[in-house]
Amino acid sequence: MSDPEIKRLMKSLGEAINETLSDAPKINDCIQSIRDSGYEVFLIIEAKIGFNRIEKGDSLPEKRATRSDEPVRLNITSEDAKFLKSLKISVDSEP
């Protein structure tokens, strides 16, 4: 597929996303409520779309869920903990 074709497809995807958001009743209702309260609304949504070319003969990667009974260790800094607390997410510390 040529670069212009990919650009056309990406533009089409962007337009579809914009149309979907602008036609969403819940979003429109919320925005209208804010406007009715005397505010101007700016809605900026960033979408990151990635893709890789699949060469002929390559197989698509398999999507498998993996499960482990071992606990996952996270290294959380004090800043991370503050941020999570601001979101009302508690972090249990190990004994």
What are the extents of the domains in the chain? Answer: 1-52
pTM (global) more than 0.75 = no
Q: How far apart are CA 74 and CA 89, in angstroms?
A: 15
Confidence grade of residue 53 (pLDDT, cut at 50, 70, 90) = confident
Report d(CA 73, CA 33) in Å as an integer.
43
Residue 1 pLDDT greater than 70, yes or no: no
Decide if 49 contacts 10 (C-beta within 8 A): yes
Residue 39's pLDDT band (boundaries 50, 70, 90)? Answer: very high
Question: 3-state SS of 2-29?
Answer: CHHHHHHHHHHHHHHHHHHHHCCHHHHH
For the segment 18-37, the average pLDDT, to the nearest whole number, is 89
Q: How many residues does the chain have?
A: 95
